[in-house]
Structure 1
Amino acid sequence: MADVGVRPARRADAGAVAAIQVRAWRQGYRDLLPAPVLEQVTGTEAEAVWRERWSEAVTAPPSPRHRLLVAVASDLVVGFAAHAPAEDPDHDPAATAELLTLLVDPLHARAGHGSRLLAATVDTLQDDGHETLVTWAFEGDEVLRAFLASAGWAPDGLARDLDMGTPVRQIRLHTDITRAPSAS
C-alpha cells in the first residue's frame, strides 16, 4: 500500500488542489449543475483562478482558523478539505465550524482519502474547541450525503436555493464533534 496521510496544504499544492477540484466537479456535479455553469467553473480560465485562490488560502487565510488540508499518497496530493468558522447567523463561530469543501480526485476515489480528510478536519477543529461541524451539500449529491451520513452527519432542516440560471437546492448537514470525556 502507498504511503498515505493528511497534512496542512503548502503553497506548492495549490495547482494540484485546483486540478482536483475541477476534475471532481466535472465528474460529481455533471448531473447536479446546469451545463453552462459547470463549464464556467471548471474551464481552463477557472482552474487558473482556483489555483490562485487556493494559494491565497494557504499563504494568507482570512483567519488562523481557516485551514486547507490535503490528502497525500506517495507524496502525490489526491484530495483536500477546507474548513473555517461557521458564518451562518444561527451558529456561534467559536463553537461551530463549516466544512467548506471536501473533494478527492476521481482517479483516487474509494481509497479512504475522504475518511482521512474528514477525521483530520475533525481533530483539528476539536483542538480549536469547536463542538459542531456544518456543511452545505447539493440536495442531489447522493454520494457526498451518503458519505457524511455514514460518519454521523444528518440534515438540520435548513435549505437554500442557489441561482444558477435555474434554482439548485442545497441542504445543510451537521454533526456533533464534541470530544468524549476522557476516563481518569
Structure 2
Amino acid sequence: MSVVTPPTTGLRPAGPDDLDAITDLHSEARTAYYRAGGWSEPELTTAETWCDRRAAWQRALTGGHRHILCALRDGDLTGVVSMGPPADTDLDATTAGQLYQIHVRPDCWGQGVGSRLHAAYVRFLHESSLHTGVLEAWERNTRAHAFYARHGWHQDGHRRPGPGGADYVRLRLRTPGGEG
C-alpha cells in the first residue's frame, strides 16, 4: 500500500521576475470569483484590464511599502499575498495592517494554500506589533467571506461601491492583545 503525501506549499518573497505570473494568477482568480458572484462583464478578461493589473502589481512590488509573498508547489506559483499599512485614512497605521490581497489559483482552492498565505499575514501583523488586521472583500465573493470567517474575521460596517452593483465590505481581525 502506498501512502500519498499532499504537496507542500513553500513561501518566498515576490520579486520583479514574478510580475507576469502574479498578474496571470490574479486575473484567473479574480475572474473565477467575480463570475461565481454573478458578475461576468467582458472587462474581466480584456488585455487592457490585464495591463492595468500588471501595472498595479508592478507598483506594489517596487513601491517599498507592501510585503508580497508567493506560494509555490513544485516550483509553480499557486498563490500570492500582499500586505502592508492600511489604505483607509480612518485606520491607525501604528495598530493596524492591511491584507490587500490573497489570490490562489482556482485549481488549488481548498488545498490549504490560502490558509498558508493567511498565516503569513498573521505573522506579519505579529512581527510588526500590529493588533488589528483589515481587508476588503467583494460582498458577493461568498467563498472569500467563508474563508475569512473561518480565520476569525468579521465585518466592521465600512463599505464602498464595487462592481456589478455590489459593495466591497471591510473585515477586521483582532489578534491577541488587540482591540480589532
State the 1:62 CA deviation. 4.7
Is the 2:137–2:169 contact (alpha carbons within 8 Å) kept by the matching residues of 1? yes
TM-score (norm: length of structure 2) = 0.86
Q: Alignment partner of 1:91: what SS?
A: coil
- Looking at structure 1, the residues matched to 38 and 129 of structure 2 have their Cα atoms a distance apart, in angstroms, of 35
Answer whether contact 1:70 1:77 (CA < 8 A) is retained: yes
Q: Does residue 94 of structure 1 match 2:94? A: yes
CA 1:31–1:87 in 2, change beyond 3 Å: closer, same or farther? Answer: same
Partner of 2:121: 121
5+ residue gaps, structure 1: none
TM-score scaled to structure 1, two decimals? Answer: 0.84
CA contact (8 A) 1:14 1:52 kept: no
- The equivalent position to 2:10 in structure 1, one of 5, 9, 13, is 5
**What is the Cα deviation at residue 70 of structure 1?**
1.1
Mapped to 2, the partners of 1:42 and 1:125 lie a distance apart of: 33
Runs of 4+ in 1 over 6 A off after TM superposition: none
Question: Contact 1:130–1:178 (CA<8 Å) still a contact in 2?
Answer: no
Distance 2:157 2:51 in 1: 36
Kindly, what percent of the aligned residue pairs are identical? Answer: 27
Map 1:163-178 → 2, pairs under 5 A: 164=163, 167-178=165-176
> For the residues of structure 1 that align with 2:92 and 2:115, how far apart are their CA atoms?
26
Name the Cα RMSD after superposition.
2.0
Q: 1:57 deviation in Å?
A: 2.0
Does the CA-based 8 Å contact 2:31-2:44 persist in structure 1?
no
TM alignment of 1:152-167, pairs within 5 A: 152-162=152-162, 164=163, 167=165
Match of 1:30 among 23, 26, 35: 35
